[in-house]
Amino acid sequence: MTADWLDVGPVDQLPAMGARTLPVRGGDEIAIFRTANGNVYALVNKCPHKHGPLSQGIIHGTSVTCPLHNWRISLITGEVLGEDRGCTPVIPVKVDGGRILIGRREALASLAA
């Protein structure tokens, strides 16, 4: 049986207020973010506006500002905050034993959509 969680590396290699990307088949990416208080979130690395790379945005609290046109995206829900509308898929993520784990099925499903 395939494990539900995919180990994507040690959490201490992801600095607070930082992000890294995980390339997946087909040229898409998952962006993994760490907030100032150490929580970890994962989204498909595409802004719902014009596919800006969210991993290059600035993290404020539990949102990230897209580097292209400054939309703000919730790291918790993937929803655009403020007056604009849209949503980017959220990938379940957890930290276990110092390792970052992401939901394998959800990651594959989001990227196939």
Sign of CA dihedral 55, 60, 63, 65: negative
Give the span between the Cα atoms of 15 and 64, in whole angstroms. Answer: 15
77 closest CA partner among 58, 64, 68, 94: 64
69 vs 105, beta carbon nearer ligand FES:
69
| 50 is a contact residue toward ligand FES (CB under 6 A) | yes
8, 32, 44, 47: which one binds ligand FES (CB under 6 A): 47
Give me the 52-91 binding string for ligand FES, x by CB under 6 A, dash otherwise: x-------------x-xx-x--------------------
Q: Is 109 helix (H, G, I), strand (E, B) or coil?
A: helix
Q: Give the residues lining the site for ligand FES (CB under 6 A).
A: 47, 49-50, 52, 66, 68-69, 71
